């Protein structure tokens, strides 16, 4: 069964409450003796039902049909106001109906027109001013208020749409964040697993004990990767930059790449920046192992009160291939913090990450 009024949080139950003003018209036979009979009750009851059908319909329609409903309701007022003063409510209902039309200027013009009809009819039927003032005043007042509330309702609808869009974009951004995290975590870890597995295979015949150590390392790395994936999903990181440097050293050593590290830090790094630097280092090491063919790699980090610069170089084949998903995601992370990521492939590969440290003091010392 169809609802009589739309499901609207702004409307709520109020459309039902406003029907109370038609009760004086419906009960006209109680105070006008010539209608105090069955025919009178049927007459006014039928007109009331016809009006209520138009009243509830007005909440669903706009445009031409709303015009027709407004005109018909005004016509009821014109027809029955000479019979009973209670019919003045029809003028008020007509103004309230059209107040939801757009643009608001048109609604105000129609409300003014209904007010003019009230004044014109009052003059023609010699209606006393004190009988005219209440339908005229409430037509203007209720009409103007409904125009205002209609504008507020439309603004609320736009706000809800904007909030839904923001929520959708936030979900998309979070999915992208998780995808980048998983790529960074698993790309590094699987590369290390492959290297150690290949090494274990080569050592299986000539050095079984060393091969078993490598397999145990593969198991340990896999367990660590599981913990890191769980941490990535929840948005947290553990271990910090020093731990990541040790991981880098171990991974490069397994791949036969010599590693040097030089760190000059005058201040601590905020956790948000440290997490991005950890992922940048991890992505750089993964690329060195997978693609560079390098024999040497070097990490240089300089931290001042205002900025942090990390440079990772290798003596591999270099080049200027387009950024893959890993470096693209890393650049997005760095730029989100106001920093920059650069790559130079002229002599080997040099990856440079620069981050500003303009953060609250309490975060710096956390």
Say yes or no to pLDDT of 366 above 60. Answer: no
Distance CA 295, CA 106 (A): 78
pLDDT at 328: 83
For 49-56, which contacts have Cβ atoms below 8 Å and span 24 or more sequence positions? 51/22, 51/76, 51/90, 51/93, 52/19, 52/22, 55/19, 55/93, 55/97, 56/4, 56/5, 56/15
Name the average pLDDT for the chain.
Answer: 84
- Using alpha carbons only, give the angle 41, 42, 43 rounded to the nearest 5 degrees: 90
pLDDT at 77: 94
Q: What is the pLDDT of residues 212-237, one digit of tens each?
A: 888 888 888 887 777 776 666 555 44
Q: What is the pLDDT of residues 137-186, one digit of tens each?
A: 999 999 999 999 888 888 888 887 887 787 777 667 767 766 776 676 67
Say yes or no to pLDDT of 112 above 70. Answer: yes
Q: Which residues pair with 299 in a beta bridge?
A: 261, 312
Distance CA 87, CA 22 (A): 8
Say yes or no to pLDDT of 205 above 50. Answer: yes
Say yes or no to pLDDT of 286 above 80. Answer: yes
Give the residue with greater pLDDT, 273 vs 82: 82
Say yes or no to pLDDT of 27 above 90. Answer: yes
Say yes or no to pLDDT of 78 above 90. Answer: yes
Distance CA 2, CA 229 (A): 50
Say yes or no to pLDDT of 361 above 50. Answer: no
pLDDT at 237: 47
pLDDT at 234: 54
Distance CA 142, CA 125 (A): 24
pLDDT at 1: 41
Say yes or no to pLDDT of 91 above 60. Answer: yes
Radius of gyration of the chain (CA): 38
């Amino acid at each position: 069964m169809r609802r009589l009024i739309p499901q609207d949080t702004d409307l709520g139950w109020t459309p039902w409450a406003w029907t109370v003003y038609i009760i004086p018209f419906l009960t006209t036979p109680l105070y006008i003796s010539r209608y105090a009979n069955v025919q009178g009750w049927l007459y006014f009851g039928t007109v009331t039902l016809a009006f209520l059908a138009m009243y509830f319909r007005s909440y669903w329609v706009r445009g031409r049909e709303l015009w027709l409903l407004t005109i018909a309701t005004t016509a009821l007022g014109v027809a029955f106001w000479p019979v009973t003063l209670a019919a003045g409510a029809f003028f008020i209902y007509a103004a309230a109906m059209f107040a939801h039309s757009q643009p608001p200027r048109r609604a105000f013009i129609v409300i003014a027109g209904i007010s003019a009809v009230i004044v014109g009819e009052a003059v023609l039927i010699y209606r006393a001013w004190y009988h005219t003032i209440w339908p005229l005043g409430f037509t203007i007042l209720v009409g103007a208020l409904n125009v205002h509330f209609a504008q507020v309702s439309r603004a609320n609808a736009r706000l809800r749409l904007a909030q839904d869009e923001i929520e959708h974009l936030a979900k998309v951004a979070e999915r992208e964040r998780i995808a980048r995290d998983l790529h960074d975590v698993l790309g590094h870890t699987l590369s290390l697993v492959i290297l150690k597995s290949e090494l274990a295979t080569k050592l299986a015949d000539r050095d079984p004990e060393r091969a078993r150590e490598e397999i145990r390392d593969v198991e340990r790395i896999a367990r660590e990767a599981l913990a890191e994936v769980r941490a990535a999903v929840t948005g947290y990181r553990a271990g910090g930059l020093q731990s990541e440097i040790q991981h880098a050293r171990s991974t490069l050593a397994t791949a036969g790449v010599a590693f040097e590290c030089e760190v000059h830090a005058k201040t601590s790094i905020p956790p948000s920046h440290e997490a991005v630097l950890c992922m940048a280092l991890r992505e750089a090491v993964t690329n060195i192992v997978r693609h560079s063919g390098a024999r040497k790699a070097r990490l240089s980090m300089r931290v001042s009160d205002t900025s942090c610069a990390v440079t990772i170089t290798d003596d591999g084949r270099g080049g200027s291939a387009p950024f893959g998903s890993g470096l693209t995601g890393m650049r997005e992370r760095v730029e989100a913090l106001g920093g920059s990521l650069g790559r130079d492939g002229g002599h080997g590969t040099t990856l440079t990450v620069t981050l500003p440290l303009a953060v609250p003091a309490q975060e710096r010392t956390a």
